Amino acid sequence: MSIESRKIKHMVRNILTARPDEIGCVECLERMDRFVEMELEGKSPAEAMPLVHDHLTRCADCREEYEALLEALQHLHEA
Amino acid sequence: MQERTNQQWLAALSEPGTEQELALADLRVFLVRGLSYAMADRPQVGEADIEGFVQDALLKILDSLASFRGESRFTTWAQKIAVHEAFTELRRKRWENVSLDKMIARYEGDFAPSILTDPDPSPEQRVTQRGLLETVERLIVEELTERQRQAIVAVVFAGMPTAEVARRMGTNRNALYKLMHDARQRLKRRMQAEGISLEDALSAFETSSGKRSSTHHV
């Protein structure tokens, strides 16, 4: 069985950057609406909400939902 | 759609009646448009799917009004719920016939040599990658519980959504994330104790991941 090197690299990075104060998916989802709005307002959500940003870099499922929400709201605001 | 403040949305949706029906109709239109944009690059998701996701989301929204904290626009919060409902359902359907045990069995065992199928690394990098992977594999066996190991293999290697892995393991998405977080912290301590730095580890993959992203099936 082959495992793509990018998956291994991602796993190793995730291990070596693990931090004790990481938040889980529930907390990330709770705060995602504010995070997305800050992004749309041109602010720096990663600085204001670093734990949400950190979770989004680690969790593919939450990142997928965040990107979809951002896409939806960008278009709705443009319309 | 009628413009409403957050308070007006909450007031309209809280009590059954004409105001609630009008607000739900407006919200439905907004969520359908938003989800249509969000799903634009997923041709397998049709209009009927989106209508179904939004219907489920509206029920969830009505049930969850008390949890709206007012930190964003109400419509942003509602769209977030619609997106979450949609992805939860899409992932469930995508993986419903996949057995966790079979998926884990595909990846378990000696995964260290797999990286050697990557054609890009130089001979030096191959040696570095092999050493790193053998170390990671050994630490996974030595440090992690059976459940932690299963979760990492299913989510990281097999690419299963955390909610789907969690359901099959009799837990929830948040608890599974915590399980994997504990596993990563254990592995981090051991890797650091063995003198593996983040910079060294990542540099071992720089060339191979940067030049090509093909998947190799052996």
ipTM computed for the complex: 0.93
Confidence band (pLDDT; 50, 70, 90) for B211?
A: very low
Confidence band (pLDDT; 50, 70, 90) for A4?
A: low
Nearest CA distance, B26 vs chain A (angstrom): 14
B interface test, pick of A6, A8, A77 with most B CB neighbours within 10 Å: A8
Greatest CA span in chain B, whole angstroms? 72
Instruction: Select the residue of B77, B187, B209 nearest A9 (Cβ to Cβ).
Output: B209
Nearest in space to A2 (alpha carbons), one of B180, B56, B7, B110: B110
The residue type found at B24 is L
Q: Which of B37-46, B66-75, B131-140, B156-165 has the weakest average pLDDT?
A: B131-140
B213 has a pLDDT exceeding 50: no
B131 has a pLDDT exceeding 90: no
pTM above 0.90, yes or no: no
Nearest in space to B138 (alpha carbons), one of B90, B82, B191, B196: B191
B141 has a pLDDT exceeding 50: yes
Nearest in space to A52 (alpha carbons), one of A21, A73, A13: A21
Question: So what's the pLDDT on residue B28?
Answer: 98
* Count, residues in chain A: 79
B210 has a pLDDT exceeding 60: no
**Average pLDDT for B118-138:** 77
Q: Do A14 and B184 touch (CB under 8 A)?
A: yes
Distance CA A33, CA A30 (A): 7
Q: What is the pLDDT of residues B15-57, one digit of tens each?
A: 999 999 999 999 999 999 999 999 999 999 999 999 999 999 9
Question: So what's the pLDDT on residue B130?
Answer: 79
Task: Please name the residue of chain A whose CA is at the shortest distance from the CA of residue B162.
Answer: A61
B215 has a pLDDT exceeding 60: no
The residue ranking higher by pLDDT, B99 or B200, is B99
The residue type found at A45 is P
B212 has a pLDDT exceeding 70: no
Confidence band (pLDDT; 50, 70, 90) for B6?
A: very high
Residue with tokens 């919060």: B77
Distance CA B123, CA B176 (A): 38
Domain boundaries defined on chain B: 6-95, 100-207
What Cα–Cα distance (Å) separates residue B142 from each residue in B35, B137, B189, B196? 45, 9, 13, 17
Nearest CA distance, B126 vs chain A (angstrom): 11
Q: What is the mean pLDDT of chain B?
A: 87
Distance CA B60, CA B83 (A): 12
A2 has a pLDDT exceeding 90: no
Distance CA B190, CA B137 (A): 12
Could you tell me which CATH number the domain at B6-95 has?
Answer: 1.10.1740
Confidence band (pLDDT; 50, 70, 90) for B216?
A: very low
First to last CA, chain A: 47
Distance CA B72, CA A28 (A): 14
**A and B: number of Cβ contacts within 8 A:** 154
Q: Which of A10-24, B114-128, B146-160, B173-187 has the weakest average pLDDT?
A: B114-128
Distance CA B133, CA A44 (A): 36
Q: Are B169 and B217 in contact (CB under 8 A)?
A: no
B124 has a pLDDT exceeding 90: no
Q: What is the dihedral of CA B98, B101, B106, B112, to 10 degrees?
A: 130
Q: Are B121 and B129 in contact (CB under 8 A)?
A: yes
Q: Do B198 and A17 touch (CB under 8 A)?
A: yes
A73 has a pLDDT exceeding 90: yes
Confidence band (pLDDT; 50, 70, 90) for B202?
A: confident
Any residues with CB less than 8 A from the CB of B14 and at least 6 apart, and which?
Answer: B20, B65
Distance CA A38, CA B214 (A): 35
Radius of gyration of chain B (CA): 23
Which chain B residues contact residue A77 at CB under 8 A?
A: none
